C-alpha cells in the first residue's frame, strides 16, 4: 500500500490503481490508504466529490479498476502520533509465524493481543506485523479472532489472495478447528449445536451475544477429547463464523469455557484458577482450505501455548 502525504498538505495527490488494488470499493481503498483519517471524513470528501476517479465523481460503492487515476484532496487534520511497537513485540512476530509463502501467512496469536488497534487499543497484531515488515506491499487480516482467543490467524500478502480467501470464508470453505476446556465431565459423544445468535449492546456499551431464534444461523460441532474430574477438553469445528459463537454455544449447552469472564460460570472459573487457568481456554488450533496458487489442500496447525499445556498437565495429574 502506498504512503500518502496529502494529510496536512496543500496539494492533492494522484494515485494510479495497480493490479493488486483493483476491484475494491473506493471507500474501503481510501480507508486503507489514509490510515490516520477518520472514516467519517473519508465519506464526507466522497459525498462532496472531492475524491475523483479519472476526473469524475464516484460513489462509495464504486469498484476501482487497474489504471484508474484517483485524485485525493489535501486533508487538514490533527494527527495522533503513531504508536511504535517495542523490540519484544517485533521479535514475537517472527517467532509466532507457523506458515508463510508469497501469498499469505498464518500467525499463532497469543491470548490478550487484539488482531488490530482501536477502541482504546493502540497496537494489534496487524500493526505490529506492518511495523516489523515496513517494505511489505500489503498485509491485511483475512478474518478476526477475539482478543482473549489464541491460535491461527490468517493474513493475506496479496490483494488477489485476500479476495480469494474472503470468498472461501463467506462460502464456508475454510475449515476452522478449535480446542477448548469446558465445564463438567462430557457425556454423549459428538454434539451438534444449532442455535441462532444475535448481537446486543448493553447500556455500558459492552457488546454481548445471545441465543435468539430470530438471530443469525449458527452451527458448532463439539467433540470430547479428554475428560477430567470437573472439566472436559473438547475439539470444536465451526460451520458458521458468528461473533463469540463457540463461547455462547458452549454456555448454551451447559458447558461454558474455562476462564470465560463474559459467558462463563464464576464458580467453575474459581476452581479452574486452582489449575492455573489464567485466561480464556479457547485456541484456534487449525485452518484447512484450498491454497489460492496450488489448488491443493493446505492444513496449518498452531500448537497450544505453554499457559494452556500447563493447565492440561495439572488436570491430568489430579
pLDDT above 90 coverage of the chain, percent: 64
pLDDT-based confidence at residue 23 (cuts at 50, 70, 90): confident
Q: CA 313 to CA 309: how far, in whole Å?
A: 6
Q: Is the pLDDT of residue 84 over 90?
A: no
The whole-number average pLDDT for the span 109-119 is 81
Q: Is the pLDDT of residue 22 over 90?
A: no
**pTM for this prediction:** 0.77
Q: What is the pLDDT of residue 87?
A: 67
pLDDT above 70 coverage of the chain, percent: 90
Does residue 86 or residue 75 have the better pLDDT? 75
Does residue 44 or residue 78 have the better pLDDT? 44
Report the chain's mean pLDDT, rounded to a whole number. 89
The whole-number average pLDDT for the span 84-99 is 78
Catalytic residues: 146
Q: Is the pLDDT of residue 227 over 90?
A: yes
Q: What is the pLDDT of residue 18?
A: 85
Does residue 123 or residue 183 have the better pLDDT? 183
Q: Is the pLDDT of residue 79 over 60?
A: no
Q: What is the pLDDT of residue 78?
A: 56
pLDDT-based confidence at residue 89 (cuts at 50, 70, 90): low
Q: Is the pLDDT of residue 10 over 90?
A: no
Q: What is the pLDDT of residue 82?
A: 56
Q: What is the pLDDT of residue 183?
A: 97
Does residue 263 or residue 136 have the better pLDDT? 263
The whole-number average pLDDT for the span 77-90 is 61
Q: Is the pLDDT of residue 109 over 60?
A: yes
Domains of the chain and any CATH numbers: 13-72 (3.10.290.10), 87-167 (3.30.2350.10), 173-317 (3.30.2350.10)
Is residue 193 within 8 Å of residue 222, measured between CB atoms?
yes
Highest-scoring range by mean pLDDT, 75-79, 91-95, 110-114, 245-249: 245-249
Q: Is the pLDDT of residue 4 over 70?
A: no
Q: Is the pLDDT of residue 65 over 70?
A: yes
**pLDDT single digits (tens) 248-307:** 999 999 999 999 999 999 999 999 999 999 999 999 999 999 999 888 999 999 999 999
Q: CA nearest 75: which of 125, 131, 10, 18?
A: 10
Place of cell 480467501: 165
Amino acid at each position: 500500500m502506498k504512503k500518502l502525504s496529502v494529510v496536512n498538505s496543500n496539494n492533492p495527490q494522484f494515485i494510479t490503481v495497480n493490479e493488486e488494488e483493483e476491484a475494491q470499493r473506493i471507500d474501503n481503498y481510501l480507508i486503507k490508504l489514509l490510515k490516520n483519517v477518520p472514516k467519517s471524513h473519508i465519506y464526507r470528501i466522497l459525498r462532496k466529490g472531492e475524491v475523483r476517479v479519472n476526473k469524475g465523481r464516484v460513489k462509495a460503492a464504486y469498484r476501482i479498476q487497474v489504471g484508474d487515476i484517483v485524485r485525493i484532496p489535501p486533508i487538514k487534520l490533527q494527527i495522533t502520533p503513531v504508536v511504535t511497537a517495542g523490540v519484544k513485540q517485533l521479535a514475537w512476530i517472527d517467532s509466532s509465524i507457523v506458515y508463510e509463502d508469497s501469498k499469505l501467512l498464518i500467525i499463532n496469536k497469543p491470548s490478550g493481543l487484539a488482531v488490530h488497534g482501536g477502541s482504546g487499543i493502540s497496537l494489534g497484531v496487524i500493526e505490529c506485523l506492518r511495523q516489523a515488515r515496513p517494505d511489505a506491499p500489503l498485509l491485511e487480516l483475512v478474518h478476526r479472532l477475539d482478543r482473549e482467543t489464541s491460535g491461527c490467524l490468517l493474513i493475506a500478502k496479496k490483494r488477489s489472495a485476500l479476495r480469494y480467501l474472503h470468498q472461501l470464508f463467506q462460502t464456508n470453505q475454510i475449515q476452522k478447528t478449535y480446542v477448548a476446556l469446558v465445564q463438567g465431565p462430557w457425556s454423549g459423544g459428538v454434539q451438534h449445536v444449532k442455535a441462532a445468535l444475535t448481537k446486543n449492546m448493553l447500556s455500558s456499551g459492552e457488546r454481548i451475544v445471545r441465543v435468539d431464534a430470530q438471530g443469525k444461523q449458527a452451527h458448532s460441532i463439539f467433540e470430547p477429547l479428554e475428560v477430567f474430574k470437573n472439566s472436559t477438553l473438547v475439539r470444536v469445528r465451526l460451520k458458521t463464523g458468528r461473533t463469540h459463537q463457540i463461547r455462547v454455544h458452549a454456555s448454551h449447552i451447559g458447558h461454558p469455557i474455562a476462564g470465560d469472564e463474559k459467558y462463563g460460570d464464576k464458580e467453575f472459573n474459581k476452581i479452574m484458577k486452582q489449575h492455573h487457568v489464567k485466561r480464556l481456554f479457547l485456541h484456534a488450533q487449525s485452518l484447512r482450505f484450498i491454497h489460492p496458487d496450488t489448488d491443493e489442500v493446505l492444513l496449518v496447525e498452531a500448537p497450544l501455548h505453554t499457559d494452556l499445556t500447563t493447565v492440561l498437565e495439572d488436570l491430568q495429574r489430579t
